Amino acid sequence: MTTIDPEEKKETVPFYPDHIRIEFYVVIGILVLVLVAGVLGMLSPVGLEAPADPLNTPLHVKPEWYFLGLYQVLKLVPPTILGINGPMFAVVVILLAVVALILWPFLDTKQDSKKAMRLRWIFCIAAILIMVALTIWGEVS
Amino acid sequence: MNNHARRNLILGVAITLVSAILLVTFGLHARAMTTDSKASQVAWSAASSANQVNPTLEVPPPKQEPCLSCHIFGEDKSLWTPVGRWLIFGTFGLLMVFGIYRSASVWKTHAPWKPLQARMADWLESRYAYRKPLGEVLNKPVHTWAQRWWYCLGGITAFLFVVQAITGILLAFYYKPTAAEAYSSIQYIETQVRFGAAIRMIHHWAANGMIVMCIAHMLRVFIMGAYRKPRELNWMSGAFLLLLTLVFGFTGYLLPWDQRAFWATTVGTDIAGSVPAVGNLVLVFLRVGWDVSEATLGRFYGLHIIITPLLTVTFMLAHFIMIRRLGVQKPL
């Protein structure tokens, strides 16, 4: 347990009921959205495309939207990079990025600073913008 | 008799009287309804005695109620369905018994009535001594700065997981993971099952919402630098939870077994197969063979409803315990 000195204690509220109340309001808000989704579902269901047919490949095959950006990257890489298979190279890079994401706390061990935080802000905004752009590109192409 | 006891006595008697009156009224009404419906029924005892006289006469068995929901909710019997009867008689019956007991107790002991929840709490406390540990959990101080809106993104993800678990179980009641029936079972869910279309829509949108919230939560933690020592394992368990959420999305996408599902899975597993060295192994593991087939559907179904949820719950518990232990990181 983290110890809290008495000076800091003044800036706290008890978990129950103060903090639970906030969580409760959030849950109610989500439930309202869930209810709206349910009503929309009754009005116009999610629906289905034609049944799966292994012999009939559709013209445009797209993954779910959250994979669409990465899928677009794989479509855009040239067939060969540095003499090796391009898509394979891209897949390896993406896998390494995932490993880096998992191990990130051990890669960035420096004392945190305002400047580092600003850099992370810029990095995140850039990453979001690039992914959104790639996703939209993948959606319209 | 003091004031308190008198008030309790009056309350008890009032509850008893009201429930008795309602019980009798509803009971008479119900009796009228059931005798009406009995009049139209065939007398089966007469039919079977006729059968003994003439054994060649084919007597059909008494008609069974084939539909459970009809049995529970009734067919054009207005309020007087089995569930309605049990609910109303059960509630008022229990209230009446409780009222009698309460009145008698207050009358006899002349002591104020101790509420039932207090009795239950004391009963549990004397056995499990739960108050102190529970109090520690509930009274843990939360910093006021930890109440800003961006700290609730992870909580929303967890709540959406609960929504997914509930709607997923409801869908699994009707879904059939076979190539022949998967598609039609989804059609059945959307057209025949009560609220089926709503449940499917909720499952669909909560899945998307869970991924958005998961990523938003991770960006928040990343930007605020809350992954640093001592919270490395919090971050790692969270990263695994994000991957598991994506596995949920990937495996769930195949289950409708329509063209989009089939070909998205074909392409997705192809990409997994292009990983050097282990690619073919991964491909064969995912597809259960070289092509997407019914076996793939079964595998994805198992991954989607058993393996991934178990792993997710495990990682979530670890994630929560570690957060509880370390508290929310103080912002820079």
The answer on B174 and B103 residing in a single domain is no
The pLDDT score that the predictor gives to residue B25 is 78
> B267 and B142 share a domain?
yes
Decide if the complex's ipTM is over 0.85: yes
- Contact between chains at B156 and A26 (C-beta distance less than 8 A): yes
Estimate to the nearest angstrom the gap between the alpha carbon of B97 and the chain centroid.
31
pLDDT for the residue numbered A1: 45
B105 and B213 housed in the same domain: no
Task: Indicate whether A81 belongs to any domain.
Answer: yes
Cβ contacts below 8 Å, chain A against chain B, sum to 197
Quickly state the pLDDT bin for B1 (edges 50, 70, 90): low
Measured over the CA atoms of residue B174, residue B177, residue B179 and residue B180, the dihedral's sign is negative
Structural contact between residues A34 and B156, judged by C-beta atoms closer than 8 angstroms = no
The answer to whether residues A34 and A81 belong to one domain is no
Could you tell me if A76 and A136 lie in one domain?
A: yes
Residue B38 has pLDDT above 80, yes or no: no
Nearest to A102 among B179, B239, B332 (CB): B239
In a domain, A136, yes or no: yes
Can you give the CATH number for the domain in which B275 is found?
1.20.810.10
- Mark yes or no for CB contact B228/A109 under 8 Å: yes
Do A38 and A67 lie in one domain? The reply is: no
pLDDT for residue B76: 53
Asked whether residue A38 falls in the same domain as residue A64, the answer is: no
Helices (H) and strands (E) in chain A, counts: 6, 3
Kindly write down the DSSP assignment for every residue of B215-280, as one continuous string: HHHHHHHHHHTTTSTT-HHHHHHHHHHHHHHHHHHHHHHHTT-BHHHHHHHHHHHHHHHTSTTTHH
Q: Between these two residues, B40 and A52, which has the higher pLDDT value?
A: A52
10 Å CB burial of residue A126 (0-12, 13-18, 19+) is exposed
Q: Are residues B99 and B183 in the same domain?
A: no
Asked, for residue B63, whether it belongs to a domain, the answer is: no
Preceding peptide of A14 cis, ω within 30°: no
Mean per-residue pLDDT for B256-268? 94
pLDDT at A131: 95
Same domain, B230 and B303: yes
Cβ neighbours for B142, distance < 8 A, ≥ 6 positions apart: A12, A13, A14, A15, A18, A19, B328
Q: What is the reported pLDDT for A18?
A: 86
**Distance of alpha carbon B10 from alpha carbon B15, whole angstroms:** 9
Is residue A41 domain-shared with residue A66, that is, in the same domain? no
**Rounded (5°) CA angle A73-A95-B300:** 90
Query: Does A94 share its domain with A75?
Result: yes
Residues A80 and A32 placed together within one structural domain of the fold: no
Answer yes or no: is B56 within a domain.
Answer: no
Q: What is the pLDDT of residues A91-130, one digit of tens each?
A: 999 999 999 999 999 999 989 899 999 999 999 999 999 9
**Domain-located, residue B9:** yes
Regarding whether A86 and A22 lie in a shared domain, the answer is: no
Residue A13 lies in a domain: yes
The mean pLDDT of B244-268, rounded to a whole number, is 95
Residue B253 lies in a domain: yes
Domain end position, chosen among B91, B109, B127: B109
Residues of A in contact with B220 (CB under 8 A): none
Number of domains in chain A: 2
Cα dihedral sign, B211-B213-B215-B221: negative
- Note the pLDDT of residue A13: 86
pLDDT beyond 50 at B281: yes
Dump pLDDT digits (tens) for B186-206.
Answer: 999 999 988 999 999 999 999
Cβ pair B227:A108 closer than 8 A:
yes
- Binding-face residues of B in 166-225 toward A, CB within 8 A: 179, 183, 186-187, 190, 195, 197-202, 204-206, 208-209, 211, 219, 222-225
> What was the pLDDT predicted at A86?
83
Q: What is the pLDDT of residue A85?
A: 80
Positions of chain A with pLDDT under 50: 1
Task: For residues B99 and B158, state if they share a domain.
Answer: no
* Residue A6 contacts B, CB cutoff 8 Å: no
Amino acid in the structure at residue A133: A
* Range of weakest confidence among B66-70, B211-215, B224-228: B66-70
B182: closest chain A residue by CA: A51
Q: Which residues of B touch A9 (CB under 8 A)?
A: 141
Residue B93 and residue B228 in one domain: no
Backbone dihedral region of A91: left (phi > 0), alpha (psi from -120 to 50 degrees) or beta? alpha
Assess whether A97 and A39 both reside in one domain. no
Residue B199 shares a structural domain with residue B294: yes
pLDDT interval class at B304 (50, 70, 90): very high
Structurally, how many domains does chain B consist of? 2
pLDDT in tens, B136-184: 888 888 888 888 889 999 999 999 999 999 999 999 999 999 999 999 9
Inter-chain contact B137–A128, Cβ cutoff 8 Å?
Answer: no
Domain enclosing residue B180, as ranges:
138-326
| A43 and A69 in a common domain | no
Q: Is B72 domain-assigned?
A: no
Distance CA A15, CA B142 (A): 6
Residue B66 within a domain? no
Are both B103 and B144 inside the same structural domain? Answer: no
pLDDT bin (cut points 50, 70, 90) of residue B286 is very high
Is A27 in Cβ contact with B264 (below 8 Å)?
A: no
> Is some CB atom of chain A closer than 8 A to the CB atom of B75?
no
Judge whether B271 lies within some domain: yes
Q: Name the closest residue on chain B to residue A103, using Cα atoms.
A: B236
Do A30 and A78 lie in one domain? The reply is: no
Tens of pLDDT, residue by residue over B58-87, are: 666 656 555 666 656 655 555 566 777 788
Record: contact A116-B225, CB cut-off 8 A: yes
Judged by a CB distance cut-off of 8 A, whether residue A104 touches chain B is yes
Higher pLDDT, A10 or B118: B118
Nearest CA in chain A to B259: A52
Q: Is residue A106 part of a domain?
A: yes
Q: Which residues in B lie closer than 8 A to residue A30 (C-beta atoms)?
A: 156, 159-160, 163
DSSP letters spanning A60-122: -----HHHHHHHHHHHHS-SEETTEEHHHHHHHHHHHHHHHHHTHHHH--SPP-HHHHHHHHH
Residues in B touching A18 (Cβ below 8 Å): 142
Q: How far is B236 from chain A (nearest CA, A)?
A: 5
Q: What is the CATH number of the domain that holds A131?
A: 1.10.287.980
In this structure, the answer to whether residues B96 and B190 fall within a common structural domain is: no
Q: Which domain holds residue A19?
A: 1-47
**Domain annotation covers residue A64:** yes
Residue A85 belongs to some domain of the structure:
yes
Instruction: Note whether residue A52 is domain-resident.
Output: no
Residues of A in contact with B271 (CB under 8 A): 71, 74, 87, 91
Q: Among residues B109, B128, B159, which one ends one of the domains?
A: B109
SS percent in chain A: helix, strand, coil, step 5:
65, 5, 30
DSSP classification of residue B146? G
The pLDDT tens digits of the residues spanning B313-328 come to 999 999 999 998 888 8
A26 touches chain B (CB under 8 A): yes
Same domain as B291, residue B253 = yes
A53, part of any domain: no
Q: Do B222 and A61 touch (CB under 8 A)?
A: no
Best residue of A5, A61, A98 to probe chain B, by most B CBs closer than 10 Å: A61
Find, among B146, B330, B137, the residue nearest to A13 by Cα. Answer: B146
